[in-house]
Structure 1
Amino acid sequence: MTRVLNRDAILADMDGWPEKWQGMPSDIDVGRLLIEGMRPFAESLMNEGRAAGTVHRHLNGLWLLGGHIVGQAQHASELRSLSGSELLLRFVDQEGGPLCRHISTEDEQRRFDATCRKLHGFLAANRPA
């Protein structure tokens, strides 16, 4: 069965992520900043004509990354003053992403790191001059 991308549904789902990541009310603001930083990347994946499975795999990685960052921001208030892109760039680089407590296998970590590397490349290439 071929997966079909529903762009509007994907973006609407992403808009609901901050509430799902929230551990305390102030987490929603951090989550919204993250979505602002992630949305252009997700849109670019869909615009490039990537296979639906590939897009969904990267969306799963973004979901994990966002939840991880929101959790870290609960203990590091200085993170709350960053833009969405700056916040994401604190956690991803050309090697991948952070170790995430919700990842239990090396294969899952490799997939997550692939998303983080791709996100890093996108953010670095689209950073304001």
Structure 2
Amino acid sequence: MKRGNNVGNAIRTTAAAVVEVDVDVVAVLVVVVVVVVVGVVVVVIDVVAVIVVVVEVVEVVALTVSVAIVVAIEVAVVAVVAVVAVVAAVAAAVVVVAVVVSAVGVVVAAVVGGGGVVDAVVIKVVVLQK
């Protein structure tokens, strides 16, 4: 009978050891799952941080490009206004020259005798003297 009792105790001990091993395996699995979940969360946070940085860089680049475009447009407008001002100044100078040339032409015509008024006055003076 002693052998039977010893065998029973051995089985109980083995069963207890198996249960103990099962509990340890479950604890290890829980720890592994927690570590994996925390790792995934950290990776997700890192990915989101990288996305945020990329978005910020894109915003800065877009802002820089838009400012450059606005500055280029403003420079172009200033250049066009400057060209228009130069053309207007040249046109005004041409008009002034034309007016001066016309005035000189009228004076020359009057003095030389090409004008009818001077001829009439000269003729009248000559007739009156005779």
TM-score (norm 2): 0.21
Task: Determine which structure has greater relative contact order: mean sequence separation of CA pairs < 8 Å that are 6+ residues apart, divided by chain length.
Answer: 1
Higher helix share: 2
Larger Rg: 2
